Structure 1
Amino acid sequence: MKKGWKKKKIVLFLSLIVTFCFITSFIFVSFVQAEKLNLKGPLFEESVKPHPVDPQSFEGKIIEAIKKVSPAVVSISTERTVSVPGIGFGPPFEDFDEFFRRFFEEFPQREFKQRGLGSGMIINKDGYILTNEHVIHGVDRDKITVTLSNNKSYKAKIVGTDVESDIAVLKIEGEGEFPHVVLGNSGNLQVGEWVIALGNPFGFALSELNKKYEPTVTVGVISATGRAIQAGGEGGERRIYADLIQTDASINPGNSGGPLINIYGEVIGINTAILSPTGGSVGIGFAIPINKAKVLLQSLVKYGEIKWPWIGIYMQELTPELAKKFGVEKGVLVADVVPSSPAEKAGIKPGDVIQEVNDTPVNTPLDLREAVLKTKIGEKIKLTVVREGRKIEIELYTAPKPEKIVEARGELEEKLLGVKVSEITPELRQRYDIGEKERGVVITEVFRGGPA
């Protein structure tokens, strides 16, 4: 018994000695370092005292809002199959692709996989996800994966999409109840109001270097409301956005589809686009107001699409030169009319200048587009039009926008150029002795008194 106690005392004594030596050596090293750096004291001072955040303070409200929403923010990983012409010889034989392209009409297509990343938010316990349409545009439908903040990944299916509004709904293919956000009210936002953007910029949260998925959070204010922009889309087409929320909360590639929330943890927008010369955030970001999404959600979930009213015209900005040519000061120029469209049936012609829709002035193509979109399918609308210097009124009924639009004839373009052209057909090649390798169009008519 005494021997055991004696051993314990020896072990305790040795432990104290080791601890003492460690502390003194640490102090000695610190002072040696200070002496080497010619300092009068330790290299740095530190504080390990905790500083609790008051939940009722402004900082506390932001932290609580983030905690409330983060579990429902998801990262969306996609994959799409892209076809490009080429046999794919690879370096250093790339020139063979060009050789085969020049001598063979049917050139083989090479496929490769293109991966994409975006963000989204779960909007109910069943696992429905709200995001941007451009996040999942053209992707392989069986290659969509969503990752939650608990590091769990699920397959997701597309429920509904709408290119016009850039809104899409996905559904998690998994069992159980999911955390979800609360959709707020974007109708009474104030410039200067604090907002928080959440998402997965650059796919950073899914990096193998990170042990768990957590959305990236940035804080800023509402810089403006009612903004309108044009942004690039798939295949080079331009997407037109209206009535956007502008914020200086950093939004970067990969943030698209994530929530923009207020300090109460309510979603007031969908992070959508940035204006940047570099591709990264410079403090000018845009979000779709959540009220716009709420109006469309039921139709997207029920029907998988949104039917928008349409009149069937191609519009052009009225530049000072065109305004002078058509003898008007304001309005929207009709560049062309789609065959069999409501506009053609009502008598709208290329060269008309539309100045009002239902007595409301329209000065830009965006004004006219928004005025039409606010109507219902089948609704009668009145257009105030200037044609050859005379103001006339034309009534027409809107129709559902078709999936495929018949190509317009290009009459106004022909009128402005003063010529009519045609593609080179075999008959035209033979008639005008055009070589097989020649490419372009044939001028088939020159209008008297025109520019040509």
Structure 2
Amino acid sequence: MASLLGCAMNVRKVFALVRAQSADCALSLFIASLLILAGSASCFAQADKVLPAVVNINTERVVRRTVRDPFEDFYAQFFGYNRVQPRQIRQTLQSLGSGFIIDPAGYIVTNKHVVERAADLKIHVTTNDGKTYNAHYIAGDDKTDLAFIKIDAQTAFPFINLDNISPNLLGQTVIVVGNAVGYGSSISRGVLSAVKR
């Protein structure tokens, strides 16, 4: 009841400012008051509970490419050079992403584009406590851009129980937890702007 009363008081203050100030200023203050209301401690307590199950995924893939001299046609036109055989080079491509553990055995959900072409791929998973494990690709779906990988370890991992996820509503405040760039977990707050995209 107290939070509802506080919300009503904030809305009343915002409408008073609308009459007294410019519309831009009032809109900014209104958004700020909504963000304050959305930033309740319970939201961040829930985010803190899932942090141990959030992982960073680092992949390495070796590709072979054919490289030609970019000036070969120019020199051949003016100096009559014979064409040189293109060179084959090997290049290591890295990809970073985030995922979350959904089973204590180490099964992880991530994006397919992070672990694409898994046949010739090395996957390393870094957990929230800083430990790094090897992992292997299980399956993926291009349409939904989702993939499953599994950590190669005989350890019980903290996990997110997908049975406990409640339905979401458009406009609902959401907390996004990830570890995409490898510097550790990060938390962002926003609103759910669309579903089933």
| TM-score of the alignment, normalized to the shorter chain, above 0.5 | yes
8 Å CA contact 2:103, 2:160 repeated in 1: yes
Partner AA of 1:159 in structure 2: I
TM superposition shift of 1:63: 2.0
Partner AA of 2:71 in structure 1: D
Per the alignment, in what secondary structure is the counterpart of residue 65 of structure 1? helix
C-alpha distance in structure 1 between counterparts of 2:182 and 2:62, whole Å = 23
TM superposition shift of 1:74: 0.4
User: Are 1:176 and 2:155 an aligned pair?
Assistant: yes
State which structure, 1 or 2, has the greater radius of gyration over its C-alpha atoms.
1
TM superposition shift of 1:221: 1.2
8 Å CA contact 1:81, 1:140 repeated in 2: no
User: Which residues of 2 match residues 234-245 of structure 1 at below 5 A?
Assistant: 243-244=196-197
User: Are 1:59 and 2:46 an aligned pair?
Assistant: no
C-alpha distance in structure 1 between counterparts of 2:75 and 2:177, whole Å = 49
Q: Give the alignment partner of residue 161 of structure 1, picking from 140, 151, 168.
A: 140
Q: Give the alignment partner of residue 103 of structure 1, picking from 76, 83, 86.
A: 83
Aligned to 1:123: 102
Residues 114 and 192 of structure 1, relative CA distance in 2, 3 Å threshold: same
Q: Which blocks of at least 5 consecutive residues in structure 2 are unaligned?
A: 1-37, 77-81
What is the root-mean-square deviation in Å for CA atoms of aligned residues?
2.8
Aligned to 1:270: none
Residues 95 and 60 of structure 1, relative CA distance in 2, 3 Å threshold: same
Deviating 4+ runs (over 4 angstroms):
96-100, 139-142
8 Å CA contact 1:84, 1:110 repeated in 2: yes
Q: Which blocks of at least 5 consecutive residues in structure 1 are unaligned?
A: 1-56, 89-93, 206-213, 226-242, 245-452
User: Are 1:70 and 2:51 an aligned pair?
Assistant: yes
Per the alignment, in what secondary structure is the counterpart of residue 52 of structure 2? helix
TM superposition shift of 1:58: 5.5
C-alpha distance in structure 1 between counterparts of 2:73 and 2:136, whole Å = 37
TM-score by length of 2: 0.68
Residues 159 and 81 of structure 1, relative CA distance in 2, 3 Å threshold: same
Per the alignment, in what secondary structure is the counterpart of residue 103 of structure 2? coil
Aligned to 1:86: 67
8 Å CA contact 2:177, 2:186 repeated in 1: yes
C-alpha distance in structure 1 between counterparts of 2:185 and 2:74, whole Å = 45
TM superposition shift of 1:98: 7.6
TM superposition shift of 1:162: 1.7
Partner AA of 2:89 in structure 1: R
TM superposition shift of 1:224: 2.7
User: Are 1:218 and 2:175 an aligned pair?
Assistant: no
TM superposition shift of 1:129: 0.4
Partner AA of 2:193 in structure 1: S
TM superposition shift of 1:95: 3.1
Partner AA of 1:59 in structure 2: S
1:53-86 residue CA offsets vs partner (Å, 9 max, x unmatched): xxxx962212211111000000000112233322
1:351-385 residue CA offsets vs partner (Å, 9 max, x unmatched): xxxxxxxxxxxxxxxxxxxxxxxxxxxxxxxxxxx
Per the alignment, in what secondary structure is the counterpart of residue 134 of structure 1? helix
Residues 110 and 155 of structure 1, relative CA distance in 2, 3 Å threshold: same
Aligned residues: 155
TM superposition shift of 1:141: 4.2
Q: Percent identity between the aligned chains?
A: 33
Residues 218 and 146 of structure 1, relative CA distance in 2, 3 Å threshold: same
TM superposition shift of 1:137: 0.8
Partner AA of 1:219 in structure 2: R
TM superposition shift of 1:108: 3.1
TM superposition shift of 1:96: 5.1
Structure scoring higher RCO (CA < 8 A, sep ≥ 6) equals 2
User: Which residues of 2 match residues 39-50 of structure 1 at below 5 A?
Assistant: none
TM superposition shift of 1:154: 0.1
C-alpha distance in structure 1 between counterparts of 2:75 and 2:173, whole Å = 59
Per the alignment, in what secondary structure is the counterpart of residue 108 of structure 2? strand
C-alpha distance in structure 2 between counterparts of 1:82 and 1:141, whole Å = 9
The structure in which a higher percent of residues are helix is 2
1:9-51 residue CA offsets vs partner (Å, 9 max, x unmatched): xxxxxxxxxxxxxxxxxxxxxxxxxxxxxxxxxxxxxxxxxxx
Aligned to 1:367: none
C-alpha distance in structure 1 between counterparts of 2:92 and 2:192, whole Å = 38
TM superposition shift of 1:192: 1.8
User: Which residues of 2 match residues 330-345 of structure 1 at below 5 A?
Assistant: none
Aligned to 1:194: 173
8 Å CA contact 1:86, 1:97 repeated in 2: no
